[in-house]
Structure 1
Amino acid sequence: MPHRPLARALAALVALFAAALGAVLVPGTAQAAAVNYVALGDSYSSGVGAGPYDTSGCLRSQKSYAPLWAAAHGVTSFNFRACGGAVTADVLNDQVSALSASTTLVTITIGGNDAGFVNVITSCRFGSTSSCTNAVNTAKSFATSTLPARLDATYAAIRNRAPNARLIVLGYPRLFETNSCGWLAMSTYKRTILNEAADVLASVTASRASAAGATFADTRGYFSGHGVCAGDPWINDISGIIEAYHPDADGYRYGYLPALNAVTG
Structure 2
Amino acid sequence: MPESSATPSQSRRPSQSRSPSQSRGPLRTHGLRRLAAALFALPLSATGLLVAAAPAHAGPVPGPAVAVSMGDSYISGEAGRWQGNSDDSGGSRDGTDLAYTGSGYNPSSVYGGTYSSGCDRSGSAEVDSAFGSTAAINIACSGATTVNVFRAADGGQSFKGEAPQADQLATIAAQHNVDLITLSIGGNDLGFANVISNCVEDYEVWYSYCQPSQQAAIDSAMGPAMANVGKSVDEIRATMSADGYAASDYRIVLQSYPSPIPRSSENRYPESGWSRTTDGGCPFWNADEDWARDTMVPEISDHLAAVAADRGVQFLDLRDFLQGREVCSTATRLATSTQEPSATTSEWARFLTTGATQGTLQESFHPNYYAQLALGRCLALIQAQPTGNFACRNTPGQDASGVYLAGIS
TM-score normalised by the chain length of structure 2: 0.53
Q: Whole-Å Cα distance in 1 between the matches of residues 250 and 299 of structure 2?
A: 27
* Richer in helix (by share): 1
CA apart distance, 1:36: 2.3
Give the secondary structure class of the aligned counterpart of 1:220: coil
Q: Whole-Å Cα distance in 2 between the matches of residues 104 and 261 of structure 1?
A: 13
Instruction: Quote the sequence identity (%).
Output: 24
Post-superposition Cα deviations, 1:102-159, rounded to whole Å, max 9, x if no partner, equal 422111110000000111010001224344530233113422x222211111000111
Post-superposition Cα deviations, 1:5-58, rounded to whole Å, max 9, x if no partner, equal xxxxxxxxxxxxxxxxxxxxxxxxxxx973122211100111111132122321
2:197 pairs with 1:122: yes
Residue aligning to 1:216: 315
2:140 pairs with 1:82: yes
Report if aligned partners of 1:104, 1:162 keep a CA contact under 8 Å in 2: no
Report if aligned partners of 2:260, 2:326 keep a CA contact under 8 Å in 1: yes
Q: Whole-Å Cα distance in 1 between the matches of residues 219 and 326 of structure 2?
A: 21
Q: Whole-Å Cα distance in 2 between the matches of residues 221 and 194 of structure 1?
A: 12
Aligned pairs (5 A) from 1:131-150: 131-143=210-222, 145-150=223-228
From 189, 192, 200, the counterpart of 2:287: 189
Aligned pairs (5 A) from 1:168-187: 168-178=253-263, 179-180=266-267, 181-182=269-270, 183=273, 184=276, 185-187=283-285
2:139 pairs with 1:63: no
2:206 pairs with 1:107: no
Residue aligning to 1:206: 305
Question: Which piece of structure 1 moves more, 234-243 or 132-141?
Answer: 132-141
Unmatched tracts of structure 2, length 5 or more: 1-61, 82-109, 151-155, 157-163, 242-248, 277-282, 333-345, 356-360, 385-409
Residue aligning to 2:378: 259
Aligned pairs (5 A) from 1:233-244: 233-239=347-353, 240=355, 241-244=361-364
Matched to 2:350, the amino acid is N
Give the secondary structure class of the aligned counterpart of 2:123: coil
Report if aligned partners of 1:103, 1:162 keep a CA contact under 8 Å in 2: no
Q: Whole-Å Cα distance in 1 between the matches of residues 226 and 200 of structure 2?
A: 27
Report if aligned partners of 1:136, 1:194 keep a CA contact under 8 Å in 2: no
Unmatched tracts of structure 1, length 5 or more: 1-31
Report if aligned partners of 2:209, 2:285 keep a CA contact under 8 Å in 1: no
CA apart distance, 1:63: 1.1
Give the secondary structure class of the aligned counterpart of 2:195: helix
CA apart distance, 1:220: 2.5
Question: In the comparison of the two structures, how many residue pairs are matched?
Answer: 229
Post-superposition Cα deviations, 1:41-95, rounded to whole Å, max 9, x if no partner, equal 10011111113212232111111111111218x63xx322100000000111310
Give the secondary structure class of the aligned counterpart of 1:245: coil
Q: Whole-Å Cα distance in 1 between the matches of residues 313 and 121 of structure 2?
A: 24
2:68 pairs with 1:38: yes
CA apart distance, 1:189: 0.9
Relative to structure 1, is the Cα distance of residues 50 and 193 closer, same or farther in structure 2, using a 3 angstrom cutoff? same
Q: Whole-Å Cα distance in 1 between the matches of residues 219 and 373 of structure 2?
A: 29
Q: Whole-Å Cα distance in 2 between the matches of residues 170 and 91 of structure 1?
A: 15
Matched to 1:221, the amino acid is D
Report if aligned partners of 1:133, 1:193 keep a CA contact under 8 Å in 2: no
Q: Whole-Å Cα distance in 2 between the matches of residues 172 and 35 of structure 1?
A: 26
Q: Whole-Å Cα distance in 1 between the matches of residues 229 and 145 of structure 2?
A: 10
Residue aligning to 2:168: 98
Report if aligned partners of 2:67, 2:127 keep a CA contact under 8 Å in 1: no
Q: Whole-Å Cα distance in 2 between the matches of residues 191 and 225 of structure 1?
A: 14
Matched to 1:235, the amino acid is A
TM-score normalised by the chain length of structure 1: 0.79
Relative to structure 1, is the Cα distance of residues 251 and 98 closer, same or farther in structure 2, using a 3 angstrom cutoff? same
Matched to 1:83, the amino acid is C
Q: Whole-Å Cα distance in 2 between the matches of residues 226 and 161 of structure 1?
A: 37
Q: Whole-Å Cα distance in 1 between the matches of residues 167 and 77 of structure 2?
A: 21
